[in-house]
Structure 1
Amino acid sequence: MKSMLTKLTASCLVVATLSMADAAKAQEPFRFAWPSAINSGVAPLTFAEALGFFEAEDLSLELISLTGSGVIIPQLTVGNIDAAYSGLEPAVLSHQPDNPDLGIYFVYNFIPNSIWEMVVLEGSDIQSIEDMRGKTIGVLALGSSNVITSKAILQSKGIAEDEVTFQAVGVGAAAYQALISGQIDVLNLFDTAHSRLELSGTAIRRLEYPEGFSGSSHGISVARATYDEKPEFFGKFGRIVAKANLACAANLEACIRSYWEAYPELAPAEAERGEAMEREKFVLTSRLENLLGEEGQYGAFPEGDWLNLVAALEAGGLVTDPDVPLNRYYTNDLVPMFNDFDPKEVVRLAEQAE
């Protein structure tokens, strides 16, 4: 009898092991590029993992840090990543005469309201973009997509590219010190980076952007050929992103804790978590205001934002053919799939999280 029980137990263990292996195998990896060092901006995605949103779609998340569109686009085209959080500008420029078609395509409006800003120290003599002639501008990387838009902004104000200097400063302490020390005159990063600078005690001013440069700034970019092969793959990921942003907004503290749990090496010491939580809430609140779009239309691109972007790049001298069909840049075909979930259930799950 004991021998039979042992055999049955062993058989059950084998079946259980195979079942778990099959379940793990069923979760297809989704390799998603993040355009800077990993930071709390990924918290909605880690919260989505914690709440089971990836598992529900039979996907597993692989976050890959890649700095700048100049690095991200080649990785997309050769298939080393599935999608990326990236700026919109390269899609437009790649369809201009004499420019190579990069084969990238935007399927989800990740940032409906632009996150890019130009900031100066409170005491700076720079009062507007028109005052930036002859100045040095600090950017994340020289290959970042916003450098394209920043050049267009300057040119729309009569400042030629060779009348300013762009300098790569990264993000974080080194970038902040470059501005504080006077190594650069203007810091041209994104909302959360500048919020962190303010939290450190440095008074800054944000320069007003010209009209047409404040709409959608980032999307989820994919290789067009891969999208044509398996659009549902990207539809499932977009639905996760929509749910993730909504959930994070519903329970910001649990969302931040999920980031610390996913990246313990980036988490504050236990004794410092109270202050760190307040800082992260301040930073992420501004980002979530830019992330969340209209309910039922999460991920949708307004046509007007692309028209404004093309017009702005044309005014900056970077677009010579503004009449390229917009459907070569992006699609809204997956928006119904992105929004095929119950928002109230997502909020309920988020509010129950600790």
Structure 2
Amino acid sequence: MSVSYAFRKVLQGGAVLALALPLAACGGSDTGDGDTREVAMTLATPTWNAGIASIAVSQEMGYFEDEGLEVEVILADSATTQAQQIATGQVVTGAVSPEPVILGHQPDRNLDLTYFMSYYKDNIYGLRVPADSDITSIEDLQGKTVGAISLASASVTQAQVGLREAGVPEDSVTFVAIGTGGQQAAAVENGQVDALALLDTSFQVLENQGIELREIEVPGTDALTSGGLAARTSDLEADRELYVKLGRAIAKGVVFSQANPEAAIELLFAAHPEARPSGLEDDAAVASSVSVLEARLANLGAEDDPYGAIDPAALQANVDFLLDAGELTEEVDPDDLYDDSLISDINDFDREAVRQEAADHA
């Protein structure tokens, strides 16, 4: 098993990070021996954490290596940044939320990205308030302050669109960036924010810290998907084998994590010690992170067979959501957003063998 190839790099705004890899249209390079191909992918998160443990599993268990790949993971600040990085060839793929992918298919955008596999099957974003808050509906947010990891987060977009759908003037609600982890907890405890527009995993972290939260329904979001692995359409056509290999290695990481989340967290901690919650004994740190990982796994469709297929109806729901919000100027055909031709080959592996590998992992 090789040492993890991931480097902790954060892309800020629309800036392009110069990589050591001169990625061409096919997105990668050989390492010199002709056997291993170096590529990069992107995830929208400021730090390594339990929510993306399955990707660390794919690295640490050698699933990428088994496919002849050495994968560098680039951490980005938003899906918009991710879309820019994929579109400019700086990375070959990323787990991207639908907004920039859909908007990129508008005639004036020409950002031709296509999903080839699901990752966030269900909607990972949401809106919650402290359990004792007098806020009971999204309409009650008028005049209130909502905290988010970043103002560029898709959670903010969804909340803002939900406000419009509910007839709440967008400028009557203030959105503020409250970062991650302890910053989020402090923002709630000191009354800096009245509500939170965050991710499934962020909500679980707060719950683990003893902060009880209550969900607030956001109109129009129930049927949404939070996206999947996207690539330039031309790259999918020119280098199909690369994306099958990437998808299969990532799928194995999800299956392993579902089968043994404790082992997945141990692998994450070994590769990325910064992902370990501070101030907790080892057992408590693992248990806390397992609960966060399980909150994410619930939205990944890990038990689906075949794994990674995207329901066109879910993409249509995302299109309709953006149309109703006035974000889209015209209809986008969901069939133009997703290429399902790789799913069969992505699933060409022995799931039971992976589950057994997870069960046997010490």
Contact conserved, 2:144 with 2:174, CA < 8 A, in 1? yes
Q: 1:16-31 alignment to 2 at 5 Å?
A: 25-31=34-40
Residue 342 (structure 2) pairs with residue 330 (structure 1):
no
Q: 1:1-354 alignment to 2 at 5 Å?
A: 25-36=34-45, 37-96=47-106, 99-267=108-276, 272-322=281-331, 324-354=332-362
Give, in whole Å, the separation in 1 of the partners of 2:279 and 2:188.
31
For structure 1, list consecutive stretches of 5 or more residues without a partner in the other structure: 1-20
- Note the C-alpha offset of 1:289: 1.2
CA distance 1:72–1:295, shift in 2 (3 Å):
closer
CA distance 1:263–1:293, shift in 2 (3 Å):
closer
- Note the C-alpha offset of 1:109: 0.9
- Note the C-alpha offset of 1:141: 1.6
Task: Decide which moves more: 162-171 or 115-124.
Answer: 162-171
CA distance 1:49–1:94, shift in 2 (3 Å):
closer
CA RMSD of aligned residues (A): 2.2
SS at match of 1:189: strand
Partner of 1:4: none
What is the aligned length?
332
SS at match of 1:167: strand
Contact conserved, 2:319 with 2:334, CA < 8 A, in 1? no
Give, in whole Å, the separation in 1 of the partners of 2:263 and 2:201.
19
For structure 2, list consecutive stretches of 5 or more residues without a partner in the other structure: 1-29
Q: Identity, % of aligned pairs?
A: 30
Q: Which amino acid aligns with 2:100?
A: P
Give, in whole Å, the separation in 2 of the partners of 1:220 and 1:280.
24
Q: Which amino acid aligns with 1:338?
A: I
Q: Deviations over 1:89-136 (max 9, x none)?
A: 112222335x41222222211111111111111121211112112222
CA distance 1:348–1:133, shift in 2 (3 Å):
same
Contact conserved, 2:50 with 2:275, CA < 8 A, in 1? no
Task: Decide which moves more: 262-271 or 280-289.
Answer: 262-271
Give, in whole Å, the separation in 2 of the partners of 1:23 and 1:250.
36
Contact conserved, 2:138 with 2:216, CA < 8 A, in 1? yes
Q: Which amino acid aligns with 2:156?
A: V
Give, in whole Å, the separation in 1 of the partners of 2:191 and 2:278.
32
Task: Decide which moves more: 265-274 or 138-147.
Answer: 265-274
- Note the C-alpha offset of 1:248: 0.9
Give, in whole Å, the separation in 2 of the partners of 1:327 and 1:195.
34
Whichever of the two has the greater Rg, that structure is 1
SS at match of 1:291: coil
Give, in whole Å, the separation in 2 of the partners of 1:232 and 1:94.
25
- Note the C-alpha offset of 1:22: 7.9
Give, in whole Å, the separation in 2 of the partners of 1:308 and 1:101.
22
Give, in whole Å, the separation in 1 of the partners of 2:241 and 2:254.
20
Give, in whole Å, the separation in 2 of the partners of 1:63 and 1:155.
36
Give, in whole Å, the separation in 1 of the partners of 2:179 and 2:119.
22
Q: Which amino acid aligns with 1:307?
A: Q
CA distance 1:22–1:332, shift in 2 (3 Å):
closer
Give, in whole Å, the separation in 2 of the partners of 1:170 and 1:218.
22
- Note the C-alpha offset of 1:199: 0.9
Give, in whole Å, the separation in 2 of the partners of 1:348 and 1:135.
50
TM-score (norm 2): 0.85
- Note the C-alpha offset of 1:228: 2.5
